[in-house]
Every structure is written in C-alpha cells, then in structure tokens.
Amino acid sequence: MPDHNQRRLQAFVEQGEHGTMGWMERRQAERQNPQVLWPDVKSIISLGFSYAPQSNPLNRVNDADLANISAYAWGRDYHDIVKKAAKRLASWLADEAKGQVKVFVDTAPVAEKPIAQQAGIGWQGKHTNLVNRNEGSWLFLAEIFTDFSIEPDKAADDGCGSCTRCLDVCPTKAFPTPYTLDARRCLAYLSIEHEGPIPEEFRKAMGNRIYGCDDCLSVCPWNKFASEAHETRFLQSRIRDLSLSDALSMSEEDFRKFFSGSPVKRIKWHRWIRNALICSGNAERSTWDRICSKVKSLQESKDPVIKESADWAIAQHAET
C-alpha cells in the first residue's frame, strides 16, 4: 500500500473513525502489507465488477412508502457472484503460470481500493470510494493474489478535480475533509455495521434509508458514463421495491426467507426492525397512518433497542 494510504488508514483508526468495526484495528498490518496476509504473494490482480443501477438511487430518498435499500444490495449477494467469477479466472491463471493463487472478495483484510487504484481501475474519490471513468462509482472489487510476478499497470490518476458534490450531499456530514470518512457519522455504517441504537442526532437524516446510503455515490458526475450493469442478478426488483409497511411486518423467519441469498441478511432481523422503526419515525403522515399499529406492537418487544426505537418513532408523530 502506498505511504499516503497507510497514513490515512492509521489516522482513521487512531481517531476512532472506524466506530465499532474492531477488525479494522486488529487487522491493520494485513491491509498495509499484503505479505502479512500471504507471505508468498508477488503480484495482485485487481478486478472491478459494475453494479450500475437502472436509475439514480437518489431519486428514491423522498418516497415515503419505500424501505430504501442501497443499490449494491438490490440483487443477489455480490460476494457469491463476484467470487465465482474471480475464481474461474484465478484457476486459469494458476494453470497457465504453474503457480498458486488466492482469491479475496471484501471479507478478508485487503486494502482493495488502494490496490485497485494502483492497478489502474480507478481512483479513490473524495467520498473514499473507487471511481472509474467508464463505470462511475458503481463497482464491486475482487483481488487475485499470485505467487508469480506480473508486470504492473499504471496507477490511476485522480479525476475529482475541484468537484465536492459527494461531500456536499452527505446528510450527516460524514466527511471531515475530502478523501476522509468518519464512519461513526455515515448512514451506511450506522444502518449496517452498528449494532446498538441509532444515535438520535442522525435519526432524522436517515429518512427512509433502511439499509445503507447511496447519496455520495449517486451524485458523482462520472456516473454519466456508466451503463446499466450487464450482470442482471445485481438488479433484481423484489428487494429494491420493498415497502416500509412490508419491512415492519417481517418476522424473524420472514426476514431470513425474504433475504436468503442477499447481502441484507447479514444485519439480521433485530437491526432490520430497528432501522425500519427509525424510518417510520421519519415517514409522512399518510404513510404513518398505515403503519402506526405495527410500530405500536413493537413497543412490547423484549429487545431494548427495538422498544426504544418504536418509542422514538411514535414520539415523532405525537408532535405533529
């Protein structure tokens, strides 16, 4: 990893901006030096897979009836789809080079965005995500580690220029400075990674975002060059069009069945309902009238986070 990326990661952890993601601190060494993860690695092949949606996800944040889910989770779990494709390529490479390979997709302590920039796929934008000149901000990443040498590609140049749209649109001001993120303020982190109550200062900003947030990605001007993802399994509408009412009505078993094969399942039912209740507190009056009985029933939950979130949602509408 280049020195400036190592310094950025170290500062991110030292300042506590990783929140409760303890693995970021525990596995720093592997992210900073791939040879700590696999001592035999000599070259890394970085792969990008477009999941560009059919329409701008930012258009969905004002739909009061919608359980708004991040575009990366509209379809099948990308871990499975991307890893299978990367493994096919890796197997061919290993046969051709008579060497060993290891494939990683998101779950290992790999600095995938700095690696992708070094490989020329794109650059880390001011929102800290990778941007590609042809696919915009909509990329899944994978890495093939090899124990044989490959001539490196030219690193990608930064293409952000003076643009600050991604910083300006963030509803919680989660970017202290360009190219840095405070995850503790990020709605994607709060709705997916964070296990406790959603801090009250961010609840109104959450709006209808029940899982993740695409705002900073959606406004990137480079997205105008992106065409809809070719892999249709990333674009299924069953999850994309879920209503807030349906989200609140899910039992634990319903949740497991509905999100089988989806990345959403990783937050489990309790966090899903917590998020749905915060969104309910932000709902318009017409939507609230349809869902208030479901929210009130969750006030009886034995889970203190769910009960408190239901109390909060009801209090928001008692004030109107």
- Taking CA atoms, 291 is separated from 21, 279, 285, 317, in Å, by 33, 11, 10, 12
* Gyration radius from the chain CA atoms: 21
Catalytic residue flag (residue 63): no
Rounded-to-integer distance, Cα 78 and Cα 83, Å? 8
Provide mean pLDDT across the span 17-33: 81
State pLDDT tens for residues 123-179: 999 999 999 999 999 999 999 999 999 999 999 999 999 999 999 999 999 999 999
The helix (run of H) or strand (run of E) holding residue 9 is helix 3-14
> Is residue 294 packed enough to be buried (19+ CB in 10 Å), middle (13-18) or exposed (0-12)?
middle
The helix (run of H) or strand (run of E) holding residue 290 is helix 285-297
pLDDT at 1: 61
Identity of the residue numbered 174: A
- Taking CA atoms, 228 is separated from 139, 174, 277, in Å, by 12, 28, 32
Rounded-to-integer distance, Cα 40 and Cα 52, Å? 35
Lowest pLDDT segment from 221-230, 243-252, 300-309: 221-230
State pLDDT tens for residues 61-96: 999 899 999 999 999 999 999 999 999 999 999 999
pLDDT, greater one: 2 or 119: 119
Lowest pLDDT segment from 26-30, 77-81, 238-242: 26-30
Percent of the chain with pLDDT over 90: 83
Provide mean pLDDT across the span 194-203: 97
* Residue 7 predicted with pLDDT over 90: no
Catalytic residue among 63, 65, 106, 241: 106
The helix (run of H) or strand (run of E) holding residue 219 is none
> In degrees rounded to 5, what are phi and psi of residue 4?
-65, -30
pLDDT, greater one: 251 or 14: 251
Provide mean pLDDT across the span 210-214: 98
> In degrees rounded to 5, what are phi and psi of residue 136?
65, -140
Rounded-to-integer distance, Cα 175 and Cα 182, Å? 6
pLDDT at 118: 96
**What end-to-end distance do the CA atoms of the chain give, in Å?**
52
Question: What is the dihedral sign for C-alpha 163, 166, 169, 173?
Answer: negative
Rounded-to-integer distance, Cα 168 and Cα 145, Å? 37
* Residue 320 predicted with pLDDT over 70: no
pLDDT at 3: 64
Counting every residue, how long is the chain? Answer: 320
Rounded-to-integer distance, Cα 188 and Cα 25, Å? 19
Question: What is the dihedral sign for C-alpha 219, 246, 106, 189?
Answer: positive
Percent of the chain with pLDDT over 70: 98
Band of pLDDT at residue 319, cut at 50, 70 and 90? low
pLDDT at 78: 92
* Residue 237 predicted with pLDDT over 80: no
Taking the model in full, what pTM does it have?
A: 0.93
* Residue 2 predicted with pLDDT over 90: no
Provide mean pLDDT across the span 285-311: 96
Provide mean pLDDT across the span 303-315: 98
